[in-house]
Chain A
Amino acid sequence: DVKVTQSSRYLVKRTGEKVFLECVQDMDHENMFWYRQDPGLGLRLIYFSYDVKMKEKGDIPEGYSVSREKKERFSLILESASTNQTSMYLCASSLQGRQGHYEQYFGPGTRLTVT
């Protein structure tokens, strides 16, 4: 079974702190993604990566950065956390499925609260 793990299920940080969210996948997937999920807004893509040391901005990259030094690990960094970054953060990795689609496998999520 594919497993995507995230370092924390719940996290509380103060405004201005630097926050690291870690994600690890164990199936040698090329693609990895970071999303945030907010009520009524669905899943919004923050950053994604097609390979080690490669990254591309998603739809809402402002206030975030990422790091992918190893294929299995994709980190999301909040340089200076703000209250509007309070959200559920979901990491995913993807594999090309039988019908040619890229099915994504998600971690359990990290609920981040910034106070």
Chain B
Amino acid sequence: DQQVKQNSPSLSVQEGRISILNCDYTNSMFDYFLWYKKYPAEGPTFLISISSIKDKNEDGRFTVFLNKSAKHLSLHIVPSQPGDSAVYFCAASADTNAGKSTFGDGTTLTVKP
């Protein structure tokens, strides 16, 4: 049973437009949700997170929205830049299992100039 799902394997957007990456989860025990970005031949790097007590967290061009009732979160990138082209992983963790995260399969974002 996959507890964290990213249903879109890939997404292509034009430079300057909004990118929206989606993530769904099934485990209601998850307390924290994180997004990581991965370039080819590099390890993932942390991008932004949100606690389950919030519904929005913003950091520059990146905003994460959480809808707990729908068990859904999304990452918005505005405006998108070619350097944002990467694989984005959604991850979730439970406070009772601090440190261990469950990852989605990833979405490959391509931002076209």
Contact = CB atoms under 8 A, between A and B. Distances in A.
Contact of A106 (B31, B44, B99): B44
Interface stretch (B13-21, B45-53, B66-74, B75-83): B45-53
From DSSP, what is the main secondary structure of chain A's interface residues? strand
Given A100-B51, A101-B49, A105-B46, 11 more contacts: A31-B99, A44-B103, A50-B99, A90-B44, A99-B50, A100-B32, A101-B93, A102-B101, A104-B91, A106-B45, A109-B43
Contacts of B84: none
Nearest to A30: B99
Given A42-B103, A99-B49, A100-B51, A107 B9 contact: no
Interface of A: 4, 30-31, 33, 35, 40-45, 48, 50, 58, 90, 92, 94, 96-97, 99-109
Nearest to B43: A106
A99 B57 CA distance: 11
Contacts of B25: none
B83 to A, nearest CB: 19
A41 B105 contact: yes
Nearest to A105: B46
A37 to B, nearest CB: 8
Contacts of B49: 97, 99, 101, 103
A43 B100 contact: no
Contacts of B105: 40-42
B99 A48 contact: yes
A44 B105 CA distance: 9
Nearest to B101: A104
Contact of B34 (A35, A48, A101): A101
Task: Give the residue among A90, A100, A101 with the most B Cβ atoms within 10 A.
Answer: A101
